[in-house]
């Protein structure tokens, strides 16, 4: 079976396309070099195309020409084709280039038309929250039977553990503020006073000058920019806890990576995270009062300035959870093993995802 797969600028797919379901050959649009999507020229072209689509009130659509048996479109791109196709997405906003501002009646109507077409065989939200958001965004009666949740996954490989002296918390993110930096900042000095602990942050975007000063004063190790995968693996391998109290993510590849490394995760109960982190099984959760996503899993309007957001209740809950893991090494290690198992052969494994995809592909071609 030959499947044309449309991927986008997400490191997730760099691994997934290397490990197709058994008996399936992927034809990858544009190749598997994800990094090219982040080049200034490609990013500029993508931004220009996005503006044109928004101007005309169009969702994310693309014309595909291929001799493959089936088209598998990711990231919410809707195919213009006569061939059978399936589409997966992290949020209905994916259909409009991850833009709530352009999620208007015209975009939704065109999206509904595509999803209702006979050659659209499956609609695959990546989480329970994405499924709910789809139901809250559309009248789905014409395509409800096509919807099926398909979790994202990463390929399992053993990450070497590296000995270290202090209890190490790790955060890896593109930007810190909408990933709960201020929530942790409010409790970190107290953690430092009570325990032999250190916090390592790897990020891309710079902090505010006053937060740079806070980082220096509290001995936080700050790593800027991109690192090769070997260095990323070393960060995971030398950490005891992955700390990711995000307000905004619909999914987060870094949580999968931390779980693969056998590290318990503390995060929020935001959007898709409850599908991945089970309290006291593979990590702990703090309650998000709805900073960014509302109860219907749609974006809060007006969009909050998360760089200024503090919440004492969240900080207190986070402090309690971190202390629990510091004091209970046995529980911490058990959670880490459970996390690793979920990536190796559990619900977030490539193995389980591929078994489901193989069935979906076969059913799509029979219909």
314: confidence class by pLDDT, cuts 50, 70, 90: very high
169 three-state secondary structure: strand
* CB of 217 closer than 8 Å to CB of 189: no
pLDDT value at residue 83: 96
* CB of 235 closer than 8 Å to CB of 171: no
248-266 per-residue burial string, b: 16 or more CB within 10 A, e: under 16: bbbbbbbbbbbbbbbbbbb
**pLDDT tens figures, 62-103:** 998 899 999 999 989 999 999 999 999 999 999 998 888 889
* CB of 348 closer than 8 Å to CB of 126: no
353: confidence class by pLDDT, cuts 50, 70, 90: very high
Dihedral of the alpha carbons of 122, 125, 127, 129, in degrees to the nearest 10: -130
197 three-state secondary structure: strand
pLDDT value at residue 101: 86
pLDDT value at residue 41: 73
pLDDT value at residue 31: 72
* CB of 77 closer than 8 Å to CB of 64: no
pLDDT value at residue 49: 85
Pairwise pLDDT comparison (152 vs 37), residue with the higher score: 152
CATH architecture, domain defined by 2-153+349-366? 3-Layer(aba) Sandwich (3.40)
Mean pLDDT over 153-179 rounds to: 95
Copy the structure tokens of residue 40.
Answer: 């200034």
DSSP 149-162: -----B---PPPP-
7: confidence class by pLDDT, cuts 50, 70, 90: confident
Position 351 pLDDT exceeds 80:
yes
Position 8 pLDDT exceeds 80:
no
**pLDDT tens figures, 253-281:** 999 999 999 999 999 999 999 999 999 99
DSSP-assigned beta bridge partners for residue 349: 154
CATH architecture, domain defined by 167-344? 3-Layer(aba) Sandwich (3.40)
Position 326 pLDDT exceeds 90:
yes
Global pTM exceeds 0.75? yes
* CB of 76 closer than 8 Å to CB of 95: yes
pLDDT value at residue 47: 84
C-alpha–C-alpha distance, residues 23 and 153, integer Å: 19
Sketch the domain layout of the chain as residue ranges.
Answer: 2-153+349-366, 167-344
Pairing mode, if any, of strands 221-224 and 197-203? Answer: parallel
Mean pLDDT over 22-42 rounds to: 81
Copy the structure tokens of residue 298.
Answer: 């749609």
Report the mean per-residue pLDDT for the chain: 94
Place of tokens 């936080």: 220
Position 40 pLDDT exceeds 90:
no
167-344: same fold as 2-153+349-366? Answer: yes
DSSP H helical ranges for the chain? 11-16, 40-55, 105-116, 128-137, 181-185, 188-194, 209-217, 229-237, 253-260, 273-276, 312-327, 329-344, 350-366
In residues, how long is the chain?
367
Position 52 pLDDT exceeds 80:
yes
Mean pLDDT over 121-146 rounds to: 97
Q: Which of 14-18, 36-40, 65-69, 361-365 has the lowest mean pLDDT?
A: 36-40
223: confidence class by pLDDT, cuts 50, 70, 90: very high
Pairwise pLDDT comparison (26 vs 34), residue with the higher score: 26
Helix axis angle, 329-344 relative to 253-260, nearest 10°? 110
Output phi, psi for 250, to 5 deg: -85, -25
**pLDDT tens figures, 169-206:** 999 999 999 999 999 999 999 999 999 999 999 999 99
pLDDT value at residue 16: 81
Residues 6+ away with beta carbon under 8 Å from 98: 91
* CB of 172 closer than 8 Å to CB of 200: no
């Amino acid at each position: 079976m030959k499947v044309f797969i449309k991927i986008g600028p997400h490191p997730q797919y760099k691994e997934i396309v290397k490990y197709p379901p058994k008996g399936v050959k992927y034809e990858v649009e544009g190749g598997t070099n994800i990094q090219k999507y982040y080049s200034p020229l490609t990013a500029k072209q993508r931004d220009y195309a996005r503006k044109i689509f928004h101007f005309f009130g169009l969702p994310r659509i693309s014309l595909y020409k291929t001799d493959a048996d089936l088209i598998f479109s990711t990231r919410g791109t809707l195919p213009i084709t006569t061939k059978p196709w399936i589409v997966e997405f992290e949020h209905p906003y994916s259909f409009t280039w991850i833009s709530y501002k352009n999620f208007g009646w015209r975009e939704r109507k065109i999206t509904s038309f595509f999803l209702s077409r006979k050659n659209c065989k499956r609609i695959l939200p990546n989480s329970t929250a994405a499924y709910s958001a789809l139901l809250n965004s559309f009248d789905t009666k014409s395509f409800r039977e096509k919807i099926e949740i398909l979790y994202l996954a990463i390929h399992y490989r053993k990450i070497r553990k590296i000995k270290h002296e202090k209890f190490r918390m790790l955060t890896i993110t593109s930007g810190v503020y909408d990933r709960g930096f201020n929530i942790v900042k409010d409790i970190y000095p107290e953690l430092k006073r009570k325990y032999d602990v250190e916090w390592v942050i790897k990020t891309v975007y710079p902090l505010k000058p006053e937060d740079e000063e806070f980082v220096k004063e509290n001995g936080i190790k700050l790593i800027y920019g991109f690192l090769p995968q070997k260095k990323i693996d070393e960060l995971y391998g030398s950490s005891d806890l992955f700390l990711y109290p995000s307000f905004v993510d619909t999914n987060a590849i870094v949580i999968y990576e931390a779980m693969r490394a056998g590290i318990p995760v503390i995060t929020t109960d935001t959007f898709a995270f409850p599908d991945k982190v089970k309290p006291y099984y593979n990590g702990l959760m703090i309650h998000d009062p709805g900073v960014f996503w509302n109860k219907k899993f749609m974006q809060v309007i007006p969009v909050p300035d998360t760089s200024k957001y503090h919440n004492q209740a969240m900080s207190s809950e986070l402090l309690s959870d971190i202390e629990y893991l510091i004091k209970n090494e046995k529980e911490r290690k058990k959670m880490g093993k459970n996390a690793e198992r979920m990536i190796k052969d559990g619900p977030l494994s490539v193995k389980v995802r591929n078994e489901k995809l193989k069935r979906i592909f076969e059913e799509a071609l029979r219909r």
